[in-house]
Amino acid sequence: MAERADDRLVRLLGIVAFLDGAGPVRVEELAERFGVSPERIRQDIDALWVSGTPGYMPDDLIDFDAYSLEAGLVSLTQGRGLTRPLRLGTREAVALVAALRAMSTTPAVVADPARAAVVASALEKLTAATGEAAAALDVRLGGDGDPEVLAAVTRALGAGRRVRLRYVDAGDVTSVRDVDPWQLVTQSDATYLVGWCHRAAGRRTFRLDRVLGAQVLDEGLSHAPQGAVVDVFAQVASEASRSPRVATLRLASAARWVAEEVPVESVQDLPDGSFEVRLRVTNPAWLARLLLTNAPHVVAVDPPDVARDVAAAASAALAAYGES
């Protein structure tokens, strides 16, 4: 598997900071400390050797003792400022304070005392250093939910264990679900648990404010996360800053999952067993895919031009299939 660029960046910065405090270190020891192979460490040193401050002339670059490296010893001779303590400007510090205050209210932090203590400590130090500018901030996030449910779900996520949920869906039907938890996601004013539902035999998204109770089970996860865990939310909200289009879909009861997994503004149950959802759409292609995928269960779509566009796309696809 290819290494993520951000993972390597963190390791590169860590190598410089570690060598500045530890002095010369053997390649094998450095590899063991950072959990990579000796060959990867040598590649990292080669990358650092051509990195530095703007100008990028020889005197601007991070430097190592080449003779020591030939003998298997990594010795930093010039860190080019990466070993100096970070100094933040007022705007940078205020942005970090705002982010930490927002983080401190998220379910994953509220339900975990250890995480909460780390965030609180960092926030206290930054707030004191920032002074009066931080006092003007008032940042709050998070939706409603039972703290005990949040705590149980967070424990299950941290331990990699299955969780049993007593859940009320949008149709006011209560069920018990055994779920392999993958990730907590905050979207608008609600928090969701994304995971594999063993009852549905598939990926599902559960609103935590609809979970009546949660129990951490002894079983581990039998289904690992598949692809981008939060892609449903990203498709709908990635362009939230733009003016979204409002659509109303009337769907048969077999498509109830749409009300559960897609962030909708409202759900209305109808006497014949169908239901209507109202949602804001910033990506028309996403809505077209949703309607085409669930075509047998689509009863009505408003505005009408959306239905016409989807019907035209479906006709074109059928025509192309017939030609082949």
**Digit-coded pLDDT (tens) for 96-151:** 877 787 777 776 677 678 878 888 888 888 777 776 655 655 555 555 567 788 88
- What CATH number is attached to the domain comprising 53? 1.10.10
Which residue, of 241, 268, 293, is where some domain finishes? Answer: 241
Q: Token pair for residue 55?
A: 């100008």
- Give the CATH number, domain containing residue 221: 2.30.30
Last residue of a domain, one of 219, 241, 263: 241
Q: What percent of the chain has pLDDT over 70?
A: 76
CATH classification at residue 279: 3.30.70
Query: Is 209 inside any structural domain?
Result: yes
Q: Within this chain, do residues 153 and 132 fall inside the same structural domain, yes or no?
A: no
For residues 154 and 236, state if they share a domain: yes
Distance CA(178)–CA(216), nearest Å, equals 10
Q: Does a structural domain hold residue 208?
A: yes
- Domain assignment present for residue 33? The answer is yes
Asked if residue 142 belongs to a domain, the reply is no
Q: Which two tokens stand for residue 109?
A: 């932090």
Query: For residue 55, what pLDDT is reported?
Result: 67
Is residue 193 a part of any domain in this protein? yes
Mean pLDDT for 242-270 is: 81
On whether both 218 and 250 belong to a single domain, the answer is no
Domain count, the chain: 4
- Cβ(277)–Cβ(271) under 8 Å? no
166 touches 146 (CB < 8 A): no
One domain for residues 29 and 94: no
* Same domain membership, residue 269 and residue 293: yes
Is residue 85 in some structural domain? no
250 and 276 both lie in a single domain: yes
Q: What is the mean pLDDT of the chain?
A: 78
Q: Are 230 and 236 in contact (CB under 8 A)?
A: no
CB within 8 Å of 196: residues ≥ 6 apart: 179, 180, 182, 202, 203, 204, 221, 222, 223
Task: For residue 278, give every residue at least 6 positions away whose Cβ sits within 8 Å of its Cβ, in sequence order, or none.
Answer: 246, 247, 248, 264, 265, 266
Does residue 251 lie in a domain region? yes
Interval 151-201: pLDDT, tens:
888 888 888 899 999 998 766 788 999 999 988 877 656 788 889 999 988
Q: For residue 56, what pLDDT band results from cuts at 50, 70 and 90?
A: low
Residue range(s) defining the domain that contains residue 108: 90-136
pLDDT in tens, 194-242: 899 999 888 888 888 889 999 999 999 998 876 545 444 444 444 344 4
Q: Does 83 fall in a domain?
A: no
Phi-psi region of 131 (alpha: psi -120 to 50; beta: other; left: phi over 0): left
Q: Rounded CA gap, 56 and 52, in Å? A: 6
Between 107 and 51, whose confidence is greater? Answer: 51
237 and 162, same structural domain?
yes
Do both 198 and 186 map to the same domain? yes
Model pLDDT, residue 213: 92
